[in-house]
Structures are given as structure tokens and as C-alpha cells.
Amino acid sequence: MNKPASLSAHAHSAKVIVCRDATAASRTVANMIVAAVNAKPSIVLGLATGGTPTATYANIVEDFRAGKVQFKDVTSFNLDEYIGLSGTHPQSFRYFMQSELFDHIDIDPNNTFVPEGGASDPASHAIQYEAQIAAAGGIDLQLLGIGHNGHIAFNEPGSLPSTRTRVVELTPSTIEKNARFFASVDEVPKTAITMGIGTILEAKQILLLATGKGKAEAVRRSLQEAASEEVPASWLEQHPDVTFVLDEDAASELSL
């Protein structure tokens, strides 16, 4: 079903798992997360939002309901949040996490951290969020998606591997892509709080899930071009334990 692939270009350390379709890729990632939680019940998870991980979260909820995993001792930190949206706004990432995952499992609400879009001072909140991650002992397993322009979290092109949790401006292409979740493009927030690439790279293990033809170019550039700020996900090649889980469409431009 899933075939591990090896990459020759750029001596990349990433492991690549190619699954037949998005359903299989989502289930593969869910299995890896559930196994990690069962191996370390007090694990610190880094979580992502967007269209890509929704099926993974549905699989995790299914496994929880089937008694295969518990989350009562888990701590989670989300990658990012729009500035200006409260956690009750239907397009906020806090709302997404509650409706897709947290409300359906036994995780302690006090141990679920998402940057506060309504913070009165977003810049100092970002610094505080970084400190909270450190105080929890760092992230054990970080789940990522990838943007069409190669962004990870809201680290847009131009982001350096030294960046920490901070306030960022979203690029026009990201705003346009995210407009599908809003009534109009004008309603999409223009700024966000995001974990930095340096923050992400400090996670002990990283899983990047990408599905669909639309992600194929970003995946190829991340894995088979030299690391550069033009493709923020390419910095992941500096990490010793990163796995790209792809469907055949997302892997279609790779020379494996």
C-alpha cells in the first residue's frame, strides 16, 4: 500500500512515504501520531490546521472512540493563528481545532495551546508562546502541512531558519488561497502569529503531510532543491528526523 521512497538529490535526510491516495496518506499519519502517543502518553504534540489534516484528525478521533489511544496526559501547541480573530470565530484556528479534534477526545483543554488571535499585544504574546513551548520541554512530534508556495505554518518565502514565534504578514497568494474559507477575500486577516522555522526545527520529530497535484511542485522544491528562503519547507532538510507522507499526486514531480 505505502511504499517508502529514497531520495538521492542533495543527500536529503528526509524519509518519504508515498501512499496511493489522500485517504491512505491521512490514515498513515494518524497511525504514526497514535503510535507516538501510546509510546509516550505525556507527549507534546505540535499540530497544524487547514484542509490537509482534517482526515487525519477524523482518523485519530475514530481511534480514540475505539479505545486505541488516550490523550488525557498530552499537551499540544498549534503552529499559528490569524491576528484579529477570537477563538470563537468560525475561521479561527482555535475553533478549527476544537471542532475537528479537541472536542472529540479526552485531552485536557488547559493543555491545548493555540496562539491567541485576540491578544492585545500580539508581538509580546508570540514571545510568551515561545516560552510556553520551552517550558513544556519542547515539541516531541510536529505535524506540518505545506503551502503551494512552500510555506510551513505561516512562514512565508523569505523566512530564515533562525526565525522564532512572531507576528508575520501574509502574502497575497496565501490570502487568496485562504479566501475560500471566508465570505470574501477582504475578510481574510492580513497578519498572523506563527511558530518560526527555528521553533519548528527544534521538534524532536517532524511529519509533513501533503496531498494533491497542487502541492507537487512545493514538495519537489523542498526535497530536491538546495535549502533556501524561497521555499521555507526546504529548511526541513536540516532536521535529523523528518518524514514526508505524500499521496501519489503530491509525489508526482519527485524523481525517486
Identify the sign of the CA torsion 212, 239, 7, 36.
negative
149, 147, 148: which is closest to 80 by C-alpha? 147
What amino acid positions are annotated as catalytic residues?
Answer: 80, 149, 151, 156
- Pairing mode, strands 15-19 and 3-5: antiparallel
CB 244 within 8 A of CB 210: yes
> Roughly what angle, to the nearest 10 degrees, separates helices 54-65 and 22-39?
50
251, 95, 252: which is closest to 181 by C-alpha? 95
SS3 of residue 15 by DSSP: strand
CB 193 within 8 A of CB 115: yes
- Tell me 250's DSSP state: T
41, 180, 9, 20: which is closest to 108 by C-alpha? 41
- Pairing mode, strands 112-113 and 75-78: parallel
